[in-house]
Amino acid sequence: MLENFSQYLALIIIILFLVMLAQKLKVAYPIVLVLGGLALCAVPGIPAVNINPELIFVIFLPPLLYEAAWYTSWKDLWRWRRVISSFAFLIVIVTSFVVALVSNSLIPGFTLALGFLLGGIVSPPDAVSATSVLKSVKAPKRLSAIVEGESLLNDAASLIVFRFALAAVDTGKFVFHDAAISFMIVIVMGIVTGIAIGMVYYAIHRWLPTTPNMDIVLTFTAPYVMYIAAESFHFSGVLAVVSGGLYLSARSHLILSTASRVRGSNVWSTIGFVLNGIVFMLIGLELPVIVNGLGDVSLGNAIWYGVLITVVLIFARLLSTMGASVFTVFISRFITTADSRPGWKGPLLFGWAGMRGVVSLAAALSIPLTLKSSGLPFPQRNLILFITFTVILLTLVVQGLTLPPLIRWVKMEDPDYEKTPEEQEKDLRLQLSGISIRYLDEHHAEALGASKSLQNLRNRFENDQLEPGDTDEDQAHYRDVYKQLLSHQRDSLHFINKQQGVNEEMVRKYLTLLDLEEEKLRMKYEEE
């Protein structure tokens, strides 16, 4: 046990240095971690890594999905709901169908059922890979919002396709009518389960006497409870975590204290970083085990099949994004759309951002060794594993490295925001200052005339300066009024955020600053 602990400790240290290298090279860190894992495989004495799919699905996946859902903009998710839902569900099914046809035609021994199984595995793009690339370049905000929203939901759709295809391979039967009904039940009940459990956690946070440490621990248990509860009833655990995370995130300002939000954000960002790093590193370290399991299939043929499926996936996604752009122009004549003229630049970038990742590998690894119905070895299991690994590697490296120059080449302006982020921040700051001054003048006019601290507080929003009051009474009154003001500012920011054209990322930044200001105020006047 101590030896394994030392190995994991060394792995985390290596991950940190590789991430530093990625930052130095200005490359998305998932790419460097996968390549670093491949490089480690060549080092003598490095033990072979066998990834347990349950480790990914139960230990890693729920908190990573929950963190992504927590920081996803509900406003953007709703605005781009048609694009996101179509790519998260319809395009996943279409992609699986295309992969099934190609693999059945060109890969010896592949049936349509095995093709659908492979399609369900490799169809979902990975959120972490795409967003880490987009953060390193100046990309339109809508591109990031759509990519993040799609990746939250397409994991669920692909795993559902995988589940039905797995049953079809095992039994040799596939009834479309039954599968369609079951598909809807799995989706709807997964969402219902997540929201129901989210409501329970809402009640615990809202009405029970929790502390910041308790709140943080509760947020870590929530995704596991949602996922395990949904999966135990054969519903979508992914959708349960996503829907529950979105539900609680939208109400975090009501159920979590300032200290809980500040500390929880720091803890979650660190844990998420470590979990993502370990997963991408393990993908690279898994290669020798996958190659050794190819059996009768030559390595050259396996590589060719992997490249073939990768090319099919890339072109299928690009055709889907371009086709969606054309369809949007047509349908906008009859219904209101978020953007009636999407053009070609956005769809091109969105199509090229379809990098695959951890969910695909975990799904492939979860294929059983034998068929339940007959006990015979599962057909083409090792080849499916290798193709999946090849798809992940090629999309991460090729698309991940070329996406930044592609974004710079197309020079797509952000159509949603006419002003620069700096100008948006200045406007938001001035708007908040005006709101604060009006609040003090309207609700605490008498106190303003008597308290030097409150006068200085008001001047802060005009001069960005604040001096402490002269007496303890001034300080106590100042603290109480300032806390009320911070609360009013927070409510105002949530109201401002509902308006179109307001950058939610900027609003979140100022909400965090308000939390930090309130935490600093609490610590300054905390009783010994």
Packing angle between helix 358-365 and helix 258-285, nearest 10 degrees? Answer: 60
The residues, ordered by sequence, that sit 6+ positions from 458 with a Cβ below 8 Å of its Cβ are: 436, 437, 440, 441, 448
Q: Tell me, what's the pLDDT at 417? A: 67
Q: Tell me, what's the pLDDT at 89? A: 82
Q: Tell me, what's the pLDDT at 306? A: 92
The residues, ordered by sequence, that sit 6+ positions from 57 with a Cβ below 8 Å of its Cβ are: 237, 362, 366
- Whether residue 353 lies inside any domain: the answer is yes
Q: Tell me, what's the pLDDT at 205? A: 94
Helix (H, G, I), strand (E, B) or coil at 459: helix
- Whether residue 125 lies inside any domain: the answer is yes
- Whether residue 146 lies inside any domain: the answer is yes
**Among 410, 435, 463, where does a domain finish?**
410
Give the span between the Cα atoms of 93 and 89, in whole angstroms: 6
Give the span between the Cα atoms of 172 and 165, in whole angstroms: 10
Same domain for 497 and 362: no
Same domain for 427 and 354: no
Same domain for 426 and 403: no
The boundaries of the domain holding residue 480 are 421-524
**Among 236, 34, 231, CA closest to 128:** 34
Q: 230 near 193, Cβ under 8 Å? A: yes
Q: Tell me, what's the pLDDT at 247? A: 93
How many Cα atoms occupy the beta-carbon half-sphere of 122 within 13 Å?
37
User: How distant, in Å, are the alpha carbons of 46, 118, 275, 301, 323 from that of 52?
Assistant: 18, 19, 15, 26, 38
Q: 306 near 394, Cβ under 8 Å? A: yes
Give the span between the Cα atoms of 164 and 120, in whole angstroms: 9
Q: How many domains does the chain have?
A: 2
Tokens found for residue 42: 């060549």
Same domain for 458 and 371: no
User: How distant, in Å, are the alpha carbons of 33, 88, 365 from that of 393?
Assistant: 11, 22, 16
Q: 377 near 8, Cβ under 8 Å? A: no
Packing angle between helix 176-207 and helix 212-232, nearest 10 degrees? Answer: 160
- Whether residue 56 lies inside any domain: the answer is yes
| Tens digits of pLDDT across the chain (528 residues) | 445 677 778 888 998 999 899 888 888 788 888 888 888 877 776 766 666 667 777 888 889 888 888 888 888 888 888 888 888 788 888 888 899 999 989 988 888 889 989 998 998 887 667 777 777 667 777 788 888 888 878 877 888 888 888 888 877 766 666 667 777 888 889 999 999 999 999 999 999 999 989 999 999 999 999 999 998 998 888 889 989 999 999 888 889 888 888 888 888 888 888 888 888 887 778 777 778 777 778 888 889 999 999 999 999 999 988 888 887 777 777 777 766 777 788 888 888 888 888 778 778 878 887 887 777 888 888 899 899 989 988 998 888 888 888 888 887 776 666 677 667 777 887 888 888 888 888 888 888 878 888 888 888 777 643 344 445 566 677 778 888 888 898 889 888 888 877 888 888 888 888 888 887 777 666 543
- Whether residue 83 lies inside any domain: the answer is yes
pTM here is 0.79
Same domain for 448 and 303: no
Same domain for 395 and 340: yes
Name the DSSP class of 58.
Answer: I
User: How distant, in Å, are the alpha carbons of 81, 86, 358, 425 from that of 91?
Assistant: 14, 6, 19, 37
Give the span between the Cα atoms of 212 and 273, in whole angstroms: 21
Beta bridge partners of 370: 377
Same domain for 179 and 115: yes
Same domain for 71 and 169: yes
Same domain for 85 and 16: yes
> How buried is 149 (Cβ within 10 angstroms: 0-12 exposed, 13-18 middle, 19+ buried)?
buried
- Whether residue 258 lies inside any domain: the answer is yes
Phi-psi region of 413 (alpha: psi -120 to 50; beta: other; left: phi over 0): beta
**Among 352, 385, 410, where does a domain finish?**
410
- Whether residue 455 lies inside any domain: the answer is yes
Same domain for 426 and 328: no
**Among 109, 61, 70, CA closest to 378:** 109
Give the span between the Cα atoms of 405 and 26, in whole angstroms: 12
Give the span between the Cα atoms of 275 and 297, in whole angstroms: 33
Tokens found for residue 367: 């294929």
- Whether residue 29 lies inside any domain: the answer is yes
Give the span between the Cα atoms of 29 and 280, in whole angstroms: 9
Same domain for 388 and 466: no
How many Cα atoms occupy the beta-carbon half-sphere of 21 within 13 Å?
13
Task: Give the amino acid at 269.
Answer: S
Q: 320 near 87, Cβ under 8 Å? A: yes
**Among 389, 410, 431, where does a domain finish?**
410
Residue 473 CB coordination number (10 Å): 11
CATH of the domain at 331: 1.20.1530.20
Q: Tell me, what's the pLDDT at 416? A: 66
Helix (H, G, I), strand (E, B) or coil at 377: strand
Q: Tell me, what's the pLDDT at 101? A: 92
Same domain for 380 and 355: yes
> SS in 3 state form for 120-162?
HHHCCCCHHHHHHHHHCCCCCHHHHHHHHHHHHHHHHHHHHHH
The number of residues making up the chain comes to: 528
